[in-house]
């Protein structure tokens, strides 16, 4: 990429484009908590959000190894988005989104802070970029190891 950094506004909890820019090692500026909640949850329809069918917004009570999280993943995704409610719910579930799981993202709290972060030097951008690329290599190795083990297990079933 010929850009020093990119600004991204999350529109869903797990955006493939975030994985793409992280794999390129492109320093990425994203809103910090609590600002991120204005973007990630109101439009999360395909991820059990308000516009998703009711069936996808339910939990199988008979599922094996089912956990009991402290907050419902669906309550704050009701018919209407109510930003003044469900603060703890949203904060709890945010930790499982790509926007929080990805290290080395530059998180901004306001527009002045965004502009300050966006003025990073070329050396700073390269340092962040190398950390992002190293992390991407690590998760690729983890994923490949998992898929190899899954393939061996599936082959053993035949």
Whether 77 has a pLDDT exceeding 90, the answer reads: no
pLDDT of residue 146: 96
Q: Higher pLDDT residue, 118 or 42?
A: 118
pTM, to two decimals: 0.83
Q: CA of 115: how far to CAs of 57, 105, 112, 119, 152, in Å? A: 38, 15, 5, 6, 49
pLDDT of residue 129: 96
Q: For the segment 7-63, what is each residue's pLDDT rounded down to a tens digit?
A: 999 988 888 899 999 999 999 999 999 999 888 887 776 666 666 677 666 777 788
Q: How many CB atoms lie within 10 A of CB 125?
A: 17
pLDDT of residue 156: 93
Whether 84 has a pLDDT exceeding 90, the answer reads: no
| Averaged pLDDT of the chain | 88
Distance CA 95, CA 102 (A): 10
């Amino acid at each position: 990429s010929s850009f020093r950094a990119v600004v991204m506004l999350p529109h869903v909890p797990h955006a493939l484009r975030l994985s793409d820019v992280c794999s390129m090692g492109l320093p990425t500026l994203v809103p910090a908590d609590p600002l991120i909640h204005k973007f990630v949850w109101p439009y999360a329809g395909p991820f059990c959000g308000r516009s998703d069918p009711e069936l996808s917004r339910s939990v199988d009570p008979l599922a094996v190894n089912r956990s009991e999280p402290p907050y419902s993943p669906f309550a704050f995704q009701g018919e209407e988005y109510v930003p003044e409610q469900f603060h703890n719910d949203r904060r709890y579930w945010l930790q499982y989104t790509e926007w929080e799981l990805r290290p080395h993202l530059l998180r901004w709290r306001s527009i002045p802070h965004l502009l300050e972060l966006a003025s990073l030097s070329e050396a700073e951008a390269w340092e962040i970029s190398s950390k992002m690329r190293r992390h991407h290599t690590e998760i690729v190795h983890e994923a490949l190891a998992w898929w190899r083990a899954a393939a061996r297990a599936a082959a053993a079933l035949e």
